[in-house]
Amino acid sequence: MAERKPFLLRIDRDVLDALQRWADDDLRSLNGQIEFVLRKALKQTGRSTESTTKDGRDTKTGRTAKER
């Protein structure tokens, strides 16, 4: 598992509330939802640090793009 680093985040209350509702809908913790959104944005912009194996599996989850 990747090393976790605590980080203080100042965020607008409305944004936080919307993220909490989204997290609840997806059965994630608020922290997990924020990390999910950040990872998705990194992937979409080509800035992701995650890599894949030769067979196309994500090194973190072990799943292929089709399985995600």
Q: What kind and span of H or E run contains 15?
A: helix 13-25
Residue positions counted in the chain: 68
Domain presence at residue 23: yes
Domain presence at residue 38: yes
Query: Torsion over CA of 21, 24, 30 and 34, rounded to 10 degrees?
Result: -70
User: In this predicted structure, what is the pLDDT of residue 66?
Assistant: 63
Instruction: Please state, in angstroms and rounded to a whole number, the distance separating the CA atoms of residues 64 and 68.
Output: 6
Domain presence at residue 33: yes
29: domain range? 13-44
Q: What is the pLDDT along the chain (68 residues), one digit of tens a residue?
A: 578 899 999 999 999 999 999 999 999 999 999 999 999 999 888 887 766 555 656 656 666 666 65
Counted domains in the chain: 1
Cα-based angle 50, 20, 28 (whole degrees, multiple of 5): 50
* pTM, two decimal places: 0.66
User: In this predicted structure, what is the pLDDT of residue 62?
Assistant: 61
User: Can you tell me which residue has the tokens 């912009």?
Assistant: 45
